[in-house]
């Protein structure tokens, strides 16, 4: 082999071995989730969540540094890198989850060249995650139905065992059978005809729950089944049996934290999940599995394919104009693009670096079903001719630090991309009265859930919240978000003079982290009836005591954890507080 050939081989091997080390470290962190669940170490779960998010970037930086040292001036030799790419691609072709190895290669090459847009000479162009179907390679546990569902689920629970024993296996199995039969009787056409149950041969851990993920096969129908397990401290029990598309979609939502699961084929697991959740975008399934970079790759690939199938233009997203972010969308696709403005409108006082830090913080935090997952894209290019005149003018006028015209492309140095939801302030004006009441109450529940996850939104205006297709209220504007434990919740002091309350500015001292919940009422831009209903159910949110109590629980490590499947019947006031774990 020539000297040049050796350099190509050694460089390709270095990148591949860097991916293998990353994948092994990812697996080790993921495997700890079982022990965390068995010992009820929820703080450890959060630490591992952060550590695993940071792992990919650290691994890429390590390989980039080594290549720069080994190759010296040739590290930017495009012809050499084209040879490395070809050599690498030949050797990873058709191996399990090959797309992951190519995505890792691209991350390295893009970092070295500072690639803008796509560069097919030195990276794999939109690498598909798998050449061919991977679901057949996924290890499943099969349970043919011979009549007794209870026997099936006794067997299943005993096969998925933990160091902590189950409290009542037979009772749990009987409950699962009862719920399946009742659901099938009401919602499934061939309700009594169960052929087989199939479950992924891996436990999915998230926050304080473990999930067994499967599907029900009938003669003419396939439907999801997810069994949620809780470690009560005295033993493990079945906490919920999720059977509807909506319930299962929510626990695999883009507003939930990433799972800790180690199936033998990640691509196969994603294809399995997509078979029971066909409306769930594949890119989101990669992301919720913790494979964030592959999720970004798939999101870009799928969006580019869609954009090439239509000639419509990017336009301003629906909702009020943002003071910090300029937000646009392609109307036919369920994404929004967010770009930081050069200057923020009054009364915003945050700085650009503060906004970036807030979004980075949320990317590593337990989102608890109420925070939209946001992906940070760098050096993104989109055709300049696909932007409406009004949008293009505003981008080039108000985001000059980020947006540049490069030939026929519009380059974004940084752009946040997330799922599009309907702004809450618009939603409650568009729907019927019952739906508006449900949304107003779920807005309050969202604030409660965020608080239990140690998150204070900062700006509580309805325009900063949105409604998903499952009618759940979520938060998506992170420029003023804070940890509850960093905030000081104060009661409004009594004014010394009556005229003090008429002053436009605060007559009392307000510290940097001071928050006065009694002032939240000004953010409730609802009509009088909705406001009255909100206050009837969630009035304590306007008291400093409520927030101080939540903060004290966090500081003591005693805050209850929100589970995604306990949904109260709204708008019954007695059920205003969601069940927590």
Mean pLDDT by 10 residues, the chain (581 residues): 86 97 96 97 92 95 97 95 96 86 95 92 74 77 94 97 97 96 84 89 95 94 95 96 94 93 94 94 95 93 94 96 96 97 91 96 91 96 97 98 97 97 97 97 96 94 96 96 96 71 59 89 91 97 97 92 62 35 44
Parse the chain into domains and list their residue ranges: 3-116, 137-290, 310-420, 423-575
Q: Is the backbone of residue 400 left (phi > 0), alpha (psi -120 to 50) or beta?
A: alpha
According to DSSP, the β-strands at 335-340 and 473-475 are unpaired
Q: Using an 8 Å Cβ cutoff, are 570 and 441 in contact?
A: yes
- The token pair at 317 is 């997203």
DSSP 3-state of 188: coil
> CA angle, 183 as apex, 186 and 185 as ends, to 5°?
40
- The token pair at 218 is 């009938």
Cα–Cα distance for residue pair 217/219, rounded to 1 Å: 7
DSSP 400: T
Label residue 574 exposed, middle or buried (CB < 10 Å: 0-12, 13-18, 19+). exposed
User: Residue 303: how many CB atoms within 10 A of its CB?
Assistant: 19
Helix (H) or strand (E) holding 340, with range, is strand 335-340
**Phi, psi at 557, each rounded to 5°:** 70, 25
This model's pTM is above 0.85: yes
Please report where in the chains the tokens 């890792």 appear, as a residue: 104
Cis peptide, bond prior to residue 347, ω within 30 of zero = yes
- The token pair at 568 is 């109260």
> CA angle, 520 as apex, 516 and 525 as ends, to 5°?
160
User: Residue 561: how many CB atoms within 10 A of its CB?
Assistant: 15
End-to-end Cα spacing for the chain: 62
Cα–Cα distance for residue pair 311/387, rounded to 1 Å: 11
Cα–Cα distance for residue pair 134/271, rounded to 1 Å: 7
User: Residue 459: how many CB atoms within 10 A of its CB?
Assistant: 17
Please report where in the chains the tokens 């401290």 appear, as a residue: 233
Look at the chain and count its residues: 581
- The token pair at 12 is 């390709």
Helix (H) or strand (E) holding 436, with range, is helix 433-452
CA distances from 88 to 252, 334, 372 (A): 34, 35, 36
Residue-level pLDDT at 1: 65
Q: Using an 8 Å Cβ cutoff, are 168 and 150 in contact?
A: no
Q: Using an 8 Å Cβ cutoff, are 238 and 228 in contact?
A: yes
Cα–Cα distance for residue pair 315/390, rounded to 1 Å: 8
Cα–Cα distance for residue pair 391/368, rounded to 1 Å: 33
Cα–Cα distance for residue pair 145/133, rounded to 1 Å: 27
**Which among 30, 29, 22 has a CA at the least distance from the CA of 263?**
30
Q: Using an 8 Å Cβ cutoff, are 489 and 515 in contact?
A: yes
Angle separating helix axes 98-113 and 42-71, nearest 10 degrees: 60
> CA angle, 230 as apex, 226 and 232 as ends, to 5°?
165
Cα–Cα distance for residue pair 494/382, rounded to 1 Å: 55
- Report H helices in 230-281: 245-251, 266-276
| Residues marked as catalytic | 373
Cα–Cα distance for residue pair 519/542, rounded to 1 Å: 7
Q: Using an 8 Å Cβ cutoff, are 129 and 160 in contact?
A: no
């Amino acid at each position: 082999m020539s000297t040049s050939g050796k350099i190509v081989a050694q460089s390709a091997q270095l990148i591949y071995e860097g991916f293998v080390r990353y994948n092994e470290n990812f697996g080790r962190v993921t495997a700890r989730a079982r022990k965390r669940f068995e010992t009820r170490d929820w703080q450890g779960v959060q630490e591992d969540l952060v550590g695993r998010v940071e792992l990919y970037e650290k691994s890429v930086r390590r390989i980039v540094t080594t290549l720069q040292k080994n190759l010296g001036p040739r590290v930017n030799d495009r012809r050499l890198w084209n040879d490395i790419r070809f050599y690498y691609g030949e050797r990873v072709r058709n191996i399990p989850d090959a797309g992951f190895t190519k995505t890792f290669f691209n991350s390295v090459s893009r970092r070295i060249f500072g690639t803008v847009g796509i560069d097919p000479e030195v990276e794999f162009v939109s690498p598909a995650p798998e050449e061919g179907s991977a679901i057949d390679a996924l290890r499943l546990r099969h349970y043919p139905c011979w009549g007794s569902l209870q026997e099936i689920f006794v067997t299943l629970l005993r096969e998925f065992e933990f160091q902590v024993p189950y409290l009542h296996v037979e009772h749990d199995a009987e409950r699962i059978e009862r719920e399946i039969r009742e659901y099938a009787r009401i919602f499934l056409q061939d309700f009594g005809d169960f052929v087989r149950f199939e479950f992924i041969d891996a436990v999915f851990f998230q926050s304080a729950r473990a999930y067994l993920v499967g599907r029900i096969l009938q003669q003419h129908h396939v439907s999801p089944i997810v069994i949620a397990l809780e470690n009560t401290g005295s033993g493990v029990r079945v906490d919920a049996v999720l059977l509807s598309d909506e319930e299962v979609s929510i626990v695999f939502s883009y507003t939930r934290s990433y799972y800790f699961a180690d199936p033998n084929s990640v691509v196969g697991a994603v294809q399995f999940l997509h078979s029971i959740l066909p409306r769930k975008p594949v890119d989101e399934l990669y992301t919720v599995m913790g494979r964030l970079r592959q999720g970004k790759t798939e999101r870009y690939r799928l969006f580019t394919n869609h954009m090439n199938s239509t000639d419509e233009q990017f336009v301003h997203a629906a909702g009020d104009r943002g003071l910090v972010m300029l937000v646009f969308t392609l109307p036919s696709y369920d994404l929004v693009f967010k770009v930081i403005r050069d200057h923020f409108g009054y009364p915003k006082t945050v700085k650009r670096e503060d906004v970036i830090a807030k979004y980075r913080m949320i990317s590593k935090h337990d989102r608890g079903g109420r925070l939209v997952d946001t992906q940070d894209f760098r050096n993104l290019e989109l055709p300049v001719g696909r932007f409406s005149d009004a949008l293009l003018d505003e981008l080039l006028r108000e985001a000059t630090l980020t947006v540049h015209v490069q030939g026929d492309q519009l380059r974004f140095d940084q752009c946040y991309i997330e799922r599009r939801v309907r702004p809450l302030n618009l939603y409650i004006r568009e729907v019927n009265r019952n739906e508006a009441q449900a949304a107003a109450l779920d807005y309050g529940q969202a604030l409660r859930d965020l608080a239990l996850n140690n998150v204070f939104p900062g700006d509580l205006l309805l325009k900063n919240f949105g409604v998903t297709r499952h009618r759940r209220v979520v938060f998506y504007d992170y420029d003023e978000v804070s940890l509850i434990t960093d905030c000081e919740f104060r009661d409004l002091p009594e004014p010394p003079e009556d005229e003090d309350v008429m002053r436009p500015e605060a007559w009392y001292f307000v510290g940097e982290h001071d928050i006065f919940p009694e002032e939240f009422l000004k953010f409730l831009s609802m009509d009088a009836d909705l406001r009255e209903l909100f206050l009837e159910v969630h009035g304590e949110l306007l008291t400093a005591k409520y927030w101080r109590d939540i903060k004290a629980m966090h500081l003591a490590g005693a805050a209850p954890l929100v589970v995604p499947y306990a949904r109260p019947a709204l708008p019954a006031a007695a059920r205003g507080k969601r069940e927590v774990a």
